[in-house]
A and B are shown apart, each in its own frame.
Chain A
Amino acid sequence: MALRPRQVLLRVGHVAILAVFTVFLAFPFYWMAITAFKRTTDLLDVHADPLWFNQPPTLAHLEELFHGTEFGRWIVNTCIVGVAVVAITLILAIPAGYALARLSRRGGRRLGMAIFLTYLIPPTILFIPLSRIVGDLGLQDSLWSLVLVYPSFTVPFCAWLSMGFFRSIPRDVEDAAMIDGLTRFGAFVKVVLPLSSAGVLTVVIFTLTMVMQEFVYGLTFITSSSQYTVSVGVPTFLVRGDVYFWGALMGACLIVSLPIAVLYNLFVDRFVAGFTGGAVK
């Protein structure tokens, strides 16, 4: 069946809109990838086609990144902070989420307000007083300062997320366990938690991504390059003076961004639900 001109026009318009947006949003990552594998002479040749390889690709930039800089160390640091913050977030946020889902009648609303309040006091308001507190505690230039402070933005959001998961579990499950002789807390630990492993996993993923994205606290508390996390180390230490190692820089951005992007994409709908709260059901 032949399409009417109007329909053809609509379809072309649809494809064109999607193409323009996709190029705008994804092009910087293509640009990172091509820069990371181009030879420097190719990169700096103004007469060559910048969008594709004019000389064979090279791994020299990545070698420089891993052997010539502390990039590997920064990844390890990020992982250490990530694991510690995940542990703290789980210990604090999961019980809080359960208490609000089951044990308090007006909890949800109150927590919603509390989370908005914490978003209204963002790192850019808190980093100055916190830098002094971190100094007084002797945690300056130590990864522990980040472990101490990062849960302040992961705990509220994750308590909110886990509250949603616990609400979706039928109450009968706990009632049955409690009739069998478990206490309420016993039922939570032995029955409810195993059932909400998907929710716990979501909390873990979001905490990890939030840790990898944080910049302001890392920039303020950490001063020596061996203690940086990746999101601070790459833009502060690799960008020094007038000499930019674009290949290595872009490689670093890409290596960190892509794994998080893939992980995150699996959970994005839950993230949106957490953001919009009651507005989208």
Chain B
Amino acid sequence: MTTSARRRHRDADARLGSLMLAPALIYIVAVIGFPFLLGIWYSVTDATVGGGTLHFVGLANFRSIIADPTFWTALRNAIVFTVVSQILVVVLGKILAMALYRPFPGRWLLRLLILLPWVAPISLGAIGWLWIYDPIYSIVTWSLHALHVIPAGDTPVWLGEPHLAMASVIVVDVWRLLPLATVIILAGLTAIPQDIHDAALVDGAGFFRRLFAIQVPLVMPVILIALLFGIVFTFTDMIVIYVLTRGGPFDSTQVIASYAYFTGVDGGDLATGAAISLFLFPVLAAVAMFFLTAARRAEVA
């Protein structure tokens, strides 16, 4: 093939490439990009569910949000919800991945059972937990009574007391995201060449030495990616909260996403709802930038 023929081929390929890519890109811009901009526009207007003409109100919505104590409660709750559950997910995920690393009989069955929470629709899984946390028939309370951890007269209302409710929804979030983190970390562990394990054993490195000098650094990029997705999913989630507590009691489990829903859709105040949910974006962008840079650095090191 001559150079010019090859170039013609390449040009034709590039044209075909754009043509095959265009529908997907146009769709994404129309259904994600456009609504995102529209959301920013709504946040500076007085849009409501009912429709009617919009009026530009400047930053009035943001001012009223900043003056709204419930918003700050929701922000603090969202941070507590995300940070606590993700620390638990990463630590437990690492332990579980190590326990699953070596083949043993029945490992595939165990993996199927362990993956169930991630695979089942989360709204339905949360309904299962609503029953587990039932104030009268809670199996958790029954078990704690049976094991004599708490006295028989003591029946905690798992979703009805502020601190307990937050702990309860965190448990459900850990339950849902632990499987994903575990399989991601397990994939990272499996990717470590066997020679490195062997060399470390030959050199007489002990368990903790091997764990912290070899495994953790080598798996770090993967852990960071598991953590990034975990944070994005948890910080923006409202399903667990919506199903279990609706933000209660007394807004003690209200997070930004659920507060935006209750204000914008249930309350009909689209403009304020849009403004509340926009607070998610800069936080997510900062978290993503930080983790992607850290993951790249960990990979190079």
| Residues of chain A having any CB pair with chain B under 8 Å | 14, 17-18, 21-22, 24-26, 28-29, 31-32, 35, 43-44, 46, 50-51, 91-93, 95-96, 98-100, 102-104, 107, 114, 116, 118-133, 135, 148-149, 151-152, 155-156, 159, 184-185, 209, 212-213, 215-216, 219-220, 230-232, 234-235, 239, 244, 246, 249-250, 252-253, 256-257, 260-262, 264-265, 268-269, 272-273, 275-277, 279-281
Contact = CB atoms under 8 A, between A and B. Distances in A.
Contact of A125 (B25, B36, B51): B36
Interface string B31-56: 11001101100100001010100000
Given A120-B285, A124-B277, A133-B35, A275 B229 contact: yes
B57 interface: no
Contacts of A156: 28
A84 to B, nearest CB: 14
10 contacts: A25-B114, A26-B113, A31-B132, A91-B23, A102-B17, A124-B257, A128-B264, A129-B38, A148-B31, A279-B188
Interface stretch (B64-72, B134-142, B162-170, B209-217): B134-142
Q: Which of A128, A272, A275, A280 gathers the greatest number of chain B CB atoms within 10 Å? A: A128
Contact of B21 (A44, A96, A279): A96
B83 interface: no
A127 B232 contact: no
Contact of A257 (B13, B25, B125, B184): B125
B185 to A, nearest CB: 10
A257 B124 contact: yes
Contact of A252 (B124, B242, B280): B124
A128 B61 CA distance: 15
Interface in B239-277: 239, 242-243, 257, 260-261, 264-265, 270, 273-274, 277
Contacts of A215: 121-123, 239, 242
A261 B116 contact: yes
A104 B281 CA distance: 30
B187 A272 contact: yes
Interface of B: 12-14, 16-18, 20-21, 23-25, 27-28, 31-32, 35-36, 38-39, 42, 47, 49, 51, 92, 95-96, 99-100, 110-117, 119-132, 134, 136-137, 139, 142, 175, 178-180, 183-184, 187-188, 191, 221-222, 225, 229, 232, 236-239, 242-243, 257, 260-261, 264-265, 270, 273-274, 277-278, 280-281, 284-285, 288, 292, 295, 299
Given A50-B139, A216-B239, A28 B128 contact: yes
A122 B232 contact: yes
Contacts of B100: 18
Contacts of B187: 269, 272-273, 276, 280
A31 B238 CA distance: 24
B225 A118 contact: no
Given A25-B113, A29-B128, A96-B24, A120 B222 contact: no
B217 to A, nearest CB: 14
